[in-house]
Structure 1
Amino acid sequence: MGHSLNKLSATFIKSAPVGKHSDGGGLWLHKRPDGGSQWFLRVSVHGRRREMGLGSPPTISLKHARQEAQRWRSFAKSGVDPIKQREKERREAERNLHILSDVASDCFEARKAELKGDGKAGRWFSPLELHVLPKLGRIPIAEIDQRDIRDALAPIWHEKVETAKKALNRLSICMHHGAALGLDVDLQAADKAKALLGAQRKKVKHTPFMRWQDVPEFYASLDGDTVTHLALKLLILTVGTRTRPLRFLRLDQIDSDVWTVAADDMKGRIGTTNDFRVPLSTQALDLICRAEPMARDGYLFPSQRKGVISDATMSRLMDRRGLEARPHGFRSSFRTWCAEQTDTPREVAEACLAHVTGTAVERAYRRTDYLDQRRRIMQRWADHVTGSA
């Protein structure tokens, strides 16, 4: 059959007349009256003649067309319909495009707008990135079942309880995203995996906190006028804000004795879009005045190099002192002091910590953030902490 192959030449193809021209072995060039042209292959499978298009010159060169013809002829020789085979390969290629890591990235992109700071901190994505994608990332999402998920999360299910829960939750969101893209996904896979993994043994660890009775002594020990000491002291005095808003505190957020934190920067404020107003005690205002000369780029607590001090800076200071307690724990110190030493109503105490209380309806009718009551209680707390009570 060798002599009947490769009849055409590249030069002929450029100027071929209208009609069908055989290159041999079932490969043809069809030159249409409109000037366009196309390669096609004629083969016979189980006595049926099949014709498959192989693209058009010059995109598909003569050499490429011959290689393709050879490949599909070999399928036909072994009794496989090359057109069906090509369809099958296309479907597989498409399915493989939707591997979990691609769907997860697409899902993260789609959700960024809802996430704080566009999800830049990567907190939303990291449980997936660390514990799921290394094992399941290359698998087409349509093939992932509850056993795959169970095997991926089993090593951390009882050890890293919160992280494992987050990873499973994020994976479930990605599976729903895959379904929304039109992929054949098992939407129950995450729930079934949870059933296979069983109840988590380990209790969630709460941030260790300092007894409220011990806070004044620790506060007094922060006697340096360094950025870290001043930041930690202000955190203790304004317990409602958590560490992030405090680290990014800008002087232009303070008006008289009220510091306003944008709603986007407040964690745990689901159900409200309001900014959070922090009443500043006289001691807090004094600290801000002492920190002001060190401000840089408008930030009150700059780091040594660039940006602001890190979360770890204050934690490390407490660690070096041999303390189990962490900065975040002062919220619990305050809340316990509130309950044991004052008759502050629950709503006001929770509002001090920026906790949203009550149902959506209750919140809609409650048009107050208890600023005046909080101002009084925060001043009492500052007096306790600084030993002036």
Structure 2
Amino acid sequence: MAAISKLTARGISALPPGKHSDGAGLWFWNRGENSKQWILRITVHGRRREMGLGGWPDVTLADARKLAKHWRSQAKAGVDPVKQREKERRQAERNLHLLRDVAADAFESRKAELKGDGKAGRWFSPLELHVLPKLGGVPVADIDQIDIRDALRPIWHSKADTARKAMNRLSIAIKHGAALGLDVDLQAVDKAKALLGAQRHVAKNIPAMPWSDVPGFYQTLSDGTVTHLALRLLILTGVRTAALRNCRVEQIEGDIWTIPAEFMKGRKGKTEDFRVSLSKEAQTVIKQALAHERGGWLLPGTRGKGPISDMTLSQLMARRKVEARPHGFRTSLRTWLADCTDAPHEVAETVLGHATGTTVSRAYQRSDHLEQRRVLMERWADHVTGALSSVVRLHG
């Protein structure tokens, strides 16, 4: 039997340049000029393989013998040590992906399906504010339900909606990691939810003004400022504040306002623009607003070159101690449609820019009910301005 363990830890430093056998395929190679390393010679499937085991003195004689024993056993089992080590190295590199990097990559891959390519940051902010400060520097493959529970427990009940969004985004990031080939726990989020338990927070709807009170409020918006005109147009059209704020003069032609698809939240799967029928009253408001136009914005802000701030309208209502909020006028309009008209459900929902029906039904039913909406929006304007008090019926 060939001798093994020929070298000694104390004698290695005195070995001259050249290769020195420790036995069983383990060699110490003194390259000179302070370069010394361990080499293992091994035969796999009839082929001689040679692999480095690290440099001395970082890898001691004892370490080298342990490594050699491990790889010899792999070779005896028919595994190529060189290929196996490379495979393990690649796997280790994949598993070192940090959550912050995987989450950012997941965000990039989803931008196309987010409003405005997610530039407002609302998709990523729950992760950025409540998860990444605690877990961003952790390899995504190491994250488990305990980590997630501890990160979100402080806001699980106090900021329930934000916590829910953060949990959802985190789940997407972990699935993205799995798609990258990382060894992640796809059940970690569900297990964290089980640990956190049911949320005590009860979601509250955005306060809305009763439709019967809207005419009185509308009459108070009479000073012709951008803020008053913006609120009037918001009430008359039932659009979201983002679409209103970002209204450009070129989007309006006659009695039609065409809102770009990127501002039409709530129409999942829709990629086309949305037409809003403008009542005579709405057109009058727009003509008044044109006197304030700046840089193409119909409703410009008081500072800079952009549109009116998203807080301006809310602050006006808050100063007046009105409980309702600007977004709530959509509810006022929808409730009026239900209480005072016989508009079909799909028409009433389209007034608010909502998609109705299944994906298949929408593929065949492509009407935006513009003519029916034109009648309804004119009657709504009559109600808002105090010119209508009767129930509206749609015929024909």
DSSP-derived class of the 1:260 partner? strand
Q: Distance in 1 between matches of 2:275 and 2:137?
A: 47
What is the CA-CA distance between 1:328 and the residue it aligns to?
0.4
1:23-62 aligned at under 5 Å gives the runs 28-29=30-31, 41-42=37-38, 52=52
AA aligned to 2:294 is R
Q: Distance in 1 between matches of 2:133 and 2:262?
A: 32
8 Å CA contact retained: 2:246, 2:307: yes
Q: Which residue of 2 aligns with 1:73?
A: 60
AA aligned to 2:31 is L
8 Å CA contact retained: 1:27, 1:41: yes
What is the CA-CA distance between 1:363 and the residue it aligns to?
1.8
Q: Distance in 2 between matches of 1:81 and 1:142?
A: 26
Q: TM-score, normalised by structure 2?
A: 0.79
Query: Relative to 1, partners in 2 of residues 1:132 and 1:75: Cα closer, same or farther, differing over 3 Å?
Result: farther
Matched positions, count: 349
1:79-228 aligned at under 5 Å gives the runs 81=67, 94=93, 97-228=96-227
Q: Distance in 1 between matches of 2:147 and 2:243?
A: 39
What is the CA-CA distance between 1:155 and the residue it aligns to?
2.3
- 338-347 or 249-258: which moved more? 338-347
Q: Which residue of 1 aligns with 2:343?
A: 344
AA aligned to 1:250 is R
Q: Which residue of 2 aligns with 1:17?
A: none
Structure 2 residue runs of 5 or longer lacking an equivalent are 1-9, 21-26, 41-49, 72-84, 389-396
What is the CA-CA distance between 1:279 and the residue it aligns to?
0.3
Q: Distance in 2 between matches of 1:5 and 1:294?
A: 89
- 230-239 or 270-279: which moved more? 270-279
CA shift digits 1:40-95 (9 cap, x unpaired) = 51389xxxxx97376xxxxxxxxxxxxx5332237638x7549989x799679736
Q: Report whether the alignment pairs 1:285 with 2:287.
A: no
Root-mean-square deviation over aligned CA pairs:
3.1
Q: Distance in 2 between matches of 1:243 and 1:363?
A: 26
AA aligned to 2:206 is T
What is the CA-CA distance between 1:273 and the residue it aligns to?
2.4
8 Å CA contact retained: 1:207, 1:326: yes
What is the CA-CA distance between 1:129 and the residue it aligns to?
1.1
Q: Distance in 2 between matches of 1:39 and 1:294?
A: 77
8 Å CA contact retained: 2:301, 2:307: yes
Q: Which residue of 2 aligns with 1:12?
A: none
Q: Which residue of 2 aligns with 1:245?
A: 243
8 Å CA contact retained: 1:40, 1:51: no
Q: Distance in 2 between matches of 1:314 and 1:84?
A: 71
Query: Relative to 1, partners in 2 of residues 1:163 and 1:83: Cα closer, same or farther, differing over 3 Å?
Result: farther
Q: TM-score, normalised by structure 1?
A: 0.81
1:295-310 aligned at under 5 Å gives the runs 295-306=293-304, 307-310=306-309
Q: Distance in 2 between matches of 1:233 and 1:387?
A: 14
Q: Distance in 2 between matches of 1:52 and 1:256?
A: 78
8 Å CA contact retained: 1:39, 1:53: no
Q: What is the percent sequence identity of the aligned residues?
A: 58
Q: Distance in 2 between matches of 1:112 and 1:82?
A: 49
8 Å CA contact retained: 1:41, 1:51: no
Q: Distance in 1 between matches of 2:12 and 2:265?
A: 77
CA shift digits 1:174-205 (9 cap, x unpaired) = 11111111111111111222222222232211
8 Å CA contact retained: 1:296, 1:302: yes
Q: Distance in 2 between matches of 1:198 and 1:42?
A: 54
What is the CA-CA distance between 1:304 and the residue it aligns to?
1.7
Q: Which residue of 2 aligns with 1:62?
A: none
8 Å CA contact retained: 1:103, 1:174: yes
DSSP-derived class of the 2:258 partner? strand
What is the CA-CA distance between 1:305 and the residue it aligns to?
1.9
Q: Which residue of 2 aligns with 1:317?
A: 316
Query: Relative to 1, partners in 2 of residues 1:216 and 1:7: Cα closer, same or farther, differing over 3 Å?
Result: farther
What is the CA-CA distance between 1:224 and the residue it aligns to?
1.8
8 Å CA contact retained: 1:263, 1:276: yes
8 Å CA contact retained: 1:254, 1:260: yes
8 Å CA contact retained: 1:208, 1:325: yes
Of 271, 274, 277, the residue aligned with 1:276 is 274
8 Å CA contact retained: 1:72, 1:82: no
8 Å CA contact retained: 2:155, 2:163: yes
Q: Which residue of 1 aligns with 2:355?
A: 356
8 Å CA contact retained: 2:95, 2:182: no
Q: Distance in 1 between matches of 2:363 and 2:117?
A: 28
AA aligned to 1:387 is G
Q: Which residue of 2 aligns with 1:294?
A: 292
CA shift digits 1:117-161 (9 cap, x unpaired) = 221111111111112112222222112122222222222222222
